[in-house]
Chain A
Amino acid sequence: MDIFIQLIVNSLIAAALYAMIAVGFNMVYSVSKFFDLAYGTIAVLGAYFVFYFYNLFPDFSLVVITAGGIFFGGFFYFLIQKIFYQKFEERKSSNVVMLVVSLGIMTITQALVAIFFTSQFQTIYLNFESNFKILGAVITPIQVILIFSSIFVFFLIFLFYKFTSIGKKAKALADDPFMSEIVGINTKRIRAIIFFIAGAVVAFAGILSFMDVGIEPTSGFTFLLNSVAAFIIGGPGNFLGSLVGAVIIGFVENFGVFFISGQWKEALTFIVLILFLIFRPDGIFKSKKQNK
């Protein structure tokens, strides 16, 4: 029973991380309509920002450094969008071209991180007084923060789309970019804002993962793969779907390795993804629009 609860907790920790990244990826995909492979590396940049400044100023507030890392992630992603993606969009480049551009940005960013920080696995040891126990399951303070942050971020994004003018415009842009421009929405500005927010979200996820288990320059791609799987399982454009997809991936991974060999951990995610693509290609929550 104790082990079973711990497995659930482990699954929720993994799901929280994937959900944050998947929801951010969903935001970006909805306004750009291409698979941005560089998205995961923003998580790594945020984590390395914290790693660098925490080592440089060990007595400085970790919360402030984390906030700096989140802002840095958002700003860096905003710059990538402005400098690269926007230019290619203006040229009406195909999705394949955009994918290749994002692959290039991902590779360059990873290489730069490895050059500046080496490709050594990095972590920080946060000496918390004690861990929490829930029905026999152990959970560290960072893991609690990760789970609650994920819920909080999801709630904020929901509010952003529901109640803010920019959020509503972003939804309109996601539905019909052409019509959005006709009605006077500044689509370039909206895209830039969405990229900034999504960059900040994924950087936050990367920082929390770094504090939990550590990070290396190529970790971003692993984050991206699992989160894209969650995004596809949940259905592109559906934020609740991304959340549910992340929970499915988290549970499959953790319960999977418990019952079969640990070597299958990475493969399990993609077995589930392929099954979804075969039997439910539009994701768990088929939108009304898709049904039509």
Chain B
Amino acid sequence: MNKNLKILAGIIIIILIIWGISSMNEKDSGNLNSENETIKIGAIMGFTGIASQWAEHHKNAMELAVDEINNSGGVLGKEIEVFFEDSRSESKGAVSSFNKLTFSHPDVDFVFGELWNFLAGPIIPIANEKKITTISPSIINSSLGDINLDKYFFTAGHRVESYENPLNMFFEKNKDLKKITILNLNDSWGTPVGDKVEEISNKNNVEVVLRDQVSIELFDYRSNVLKIIAEEPDVVFVASYGFLESQVVEIIKEKNPEIKIMTSNGIFFEELSKKIQPFHEGVFFLDWKNDAEFEEKYLEEYGMYPMFESQNSYETVNIIKKAIEISKGDPDKYLESLKKVKYQTKNKSYDFSKGNLDSNRSEASLFKVENGEIILVE
């Protein structure tokens, strides 16, 4: 009797689970019908963890564009609706966010994200498998292009080739430089950036006397920095994320102020710098110019300057809008339409016909900190 009761209880539980799942699906299909009048974008960013400062600004920029579009009548009469998911700045978090998003919103039109290369990499195969058009606003093309999984995945992020002009300009303006050392993160962003710096240095007859790569998990770069300055270079290039770049710059300036320093862009943004320390005087860095119009709008809305290439997120929403317009609102044609998008702002240029990972045709610029101000080197 006892055993029969257990079997009965088991059957009831199984029936309840099946009923629960099916009613959840019914609810979802109900949502599909009722929400069909909106364009749904799922956005995956690391709102917590090491990428959170980036995520905050990209989310702001994205919402700025969504509000503008919705306030001016939407896309072909439909409003844009965004569902955010936090990847916790972890690869596995990015994957579970993607799965969660596409499970809870199976009718999502586009997925937006991730922001960093090592976070975007794991979601590319899933986007292809689930056939969901996914656009990162910020990851760089290199190190993803050769894995041949880019059918449904796009990036509006800057190409590593965009570093070439400002790097060449830097070497041309500093013809006395003979030796360079490079310190970069050994991830799918830092390594290609380091490769590009090495390539351009060689082309300009500047000898790369040492290149060291460090793990993103390390917080203490002190002895790595000693190694790169022990070679007595004329210039050091550092590609890491903001706070650690700052640590490296401090040590170099303390040990040998004669060495020129160039960094990737993470270190100099106003908000980040305010939290940590003042700008590092005399340091060069590479970045992409935002449009003044975008900066003004952002400043007015959020009371601070946009940072970390966040204009790309603003423009990516507009690119999605353009793709939907080209497709005349047919979701089956979104993917093909996106590949036809060409989009230009004052300082930004996107052409998705150039390839899923090569759409951003904007050039980086060289900046320098002089008398506490950031100036464009021309």
Which residues of A are interface residues toward B (Cβ below 8 A)? 2-3, 6-7, 10-11, 13-14, 114, 118-121, 123, 125, 131, 138, 213-216, 219, 222, 253-255, 257-258, 261-263, 265-266
Contact = CB atoms under 8 A, between A and B. Distances in A.
Contacts of B146: none
Contact of B48 (A120, A255, A261, A265): A120
B219 A214 contact: yes
A213 B220 CA distance: 7
Contact of A118 (B52, B217, B227): B52
A39 to B, nearest CB: 19
A3 B255 CA distance: 9
A6 B226 contact: yes
Nearest to A258: B227
Contacts of B223: 7, 10-11, 253-255, 257-258
A222 B217 CA distance: 9
B269 interface: no
Given A261-B212, A263-B214, A125 B276 contact: yes
Contacts of A266: 215, 217-218
Contacts of A123: 243, 276
A53 B220 CA distance: 25
A247 B53 CA distance: 36
28 contacts: A3-B230, A6-B255, A7-B223, A10-B223, A10-B226, A14-B220, A118-B49, A119-B50, A119-B89, A120-B52, A121-B50, A121-B243, A123-B243, A138-B254, A213-B220, A213-B247, A214-B219, A222-B217, A257-B223, A258-B223, A258-B226, A258-B230, A262-B183, A262-B212, A262-B227, A263-B214, A266-B217, A266-B218
Given A125-B277, A263-B186, A118 B48 contact: yes
Contacts of B243: 121, 123, 214
Contacts of B227: 257-258, 262
B49 A262 contact: no
Given A121-B243, A253-B223, 11 more contacts: A119-B49, A125-B277, A213-B220, A257-B223, A258-B223, A261-B213, A262-B213, A262-B218, A263-B214, A266-B215, A266-B217
Nearest to B50: A121
Interface size class on chain B is 20 to 34
In the A-B complex, the 3 residue pairs with the closest CB atoms: A118-B48, A254-B223, A262-B214
Nearest to B48: A118
Given A138-B255, A258-B227, A119 B215 contact: no
A131 B229 CA distance: 19
A125 B276 CA distance: 6
B88 A131 contact: no
Contacts of B218: 262, 265-266
A59 B275 CA distance: 16
B333 interface: no
B169 to A, nearest CB: 29
B219 A219 contact: yes
A216 B220 CA distance: 13
Contacts of B48: 114, 118-120
A17 to B, nearest CB: 9
Contacts of B186: 263
Contact of B222 (A2, A10, A114): A10
B174 interface: no
Interface in B199-254: 212-215, 217-224, 226-227, 229-230, 243, 247, 251, 254
A2 B222 CA distance: 14
Contacts of A7: 223, 226
Contacts of B276: 123, 125
Contacts of B230: 3, 258
A164 B28 CA distance: 68
A131 B254 contact: yes
A7 B186 CA distance: 23
Nearest to A127: B277
Contacts of A257: 212, 223-224, 227
